[in-house]
Amino acid sequence: MKVTIIGSGNVATVFGKKILEAGHSILQVIGRNQQRARFLADALGTTSLTDIAGISSAADIYIFAVSDMSLTDLGKKVHFENKIAVHTAGSVSKEVLSKITSNYGVIYPLQTLRKEIPSPENIPVLVDASNKPTLRAITEFASSFSGYVGPADDAVRLSFHLAATIINNFTNHLLMLTENYCLDQQIDFRHLAPLMEETVKRAFHFHPVLVQTGPAMRGDISTIQKHLEALAEYPELRKIYDIFTMSIGKFK
C-alpha cells in the first residue's frame, strides 16, 4: 500500500520503519516540527512537509500518529474521498476521523514505543473501522507488520488503554521512585532487575493474586513498621507503600 504518515514522534517513527520493512511505500511524512519530520522522512527514504495543506491525495492509507488533542481539528483541514484514514490513539474514538473520509478507523499499538531505542520485534495491534470492507483492509495492512492483530471497538480499546496505563506508566513511576531511593541509599538499583523480571514472568504465567508475596500478604506488621520508619524522609514513596500495603492486605 501507499502510505502517508502524519506525525514524527515515537509511534510515527516505529510504525514508519515497520511499514517500510513490510514492503509498503511511504509517500510523505508530515509533521509540525520541520527538523523531526525531515529526519524521519530521510530515515524512511521519502519527503517531508510541515503544512498538512500540501498533503498528497495519492496514498491508499493515511496514518495520523499525532497527539490526542491534535486529532480533534483534523476534519477541518483535510478530506479524502474513498481513501482510508486511521489514527493510533487508545482512548480516542474512531469517529474523530469521520469528517475526513467515510473509510476511517484505528490502528492502536498495545505497546510502549520509543523512537530512540530498538522497538519490540512483534507489536500487538488493535484495529477498528467504520465499515467491514475498511476493517478488512486495515486488518490486512496491520498484519503485514504485526504478528497479532485483533479487533477492538472504542470501548474495548479504552479499557485496554486504561489497563496499559496502570501496568506500564504506574509501574515505571514506581521504578523511578525506587531508583531514586536506591541512589540516595547508595545501593545498586540494577541488582533488582532479576527480581522485577521474575515478578512479571510469574504474573503472566499464573494469576497475580496467586503469586503475591511480601510482608503485607503475610500480615507481618513488624516488618511493615520498619519499612515505614525507613521511608520517613521519602513521603511520596511512603504514601504509595501505605496504600499498596492496605490494598494487598484485602486479598490475603
Tell me the pLDDT tens digit for each residue of 175-233: 999 999 999 999 999 999 999 999 999 999 999 999 999 999 999 999 999 999 999 99
- Considering the four listed CATH numbers 3.30.70.1450, 1.10.150.300, 3.40.50.1110, 1.10.1040.20, the one that applies to the domain covering 158-249 is 1.10.1040.20
Tell me the three cell numbers of residue 38: 525531515
pTM: 0.90
Say if CB 57 and CB 5 are below 8 A apart. Answer: no
Q: Where in the chain is the domain with CATH 1.10.1040.20?
A: 158-249
DSSP state of 250: T
Task: Report the DSSP pairing between strands 25-30 and 47-49.
Answer: parallel
Strand partners, 7: none
What was the pLDDT predicted at 226?
A: 97
CA distance 201 to 204: 6
Tell me the pLDDT tens digit for each residue of 93-138: 999 999 999 999 999 999 999 888 887 888 999 999 999 999 999 9
Q: Where in the chain is the domain with CATH 3.40.50.720?
A: 2-152
Q: 214: closest CA among 231, 227, 201?
A: 227
Tell me the pLDDT tens digit for each residue of 159-175: 999 999 999 999 999 99
**DSSP labels, 175-186:** HHHHHHHHHHHT
3-state SS class at 126: strand
What was the pLDDT predicted at 73?
A: 80
Tell me the three cell numbers of residue 68: 490526542
pLDDT at 252 over 90: no
CA distance 130 to 97: 10
Per CATH, domain 2-152 is 3.40.50.300: no
Tell me the pLDDT tens digit for each residue of 51-98: 998 999 999 999 999 988 888 888 778 888 889 999 999 999 999 999
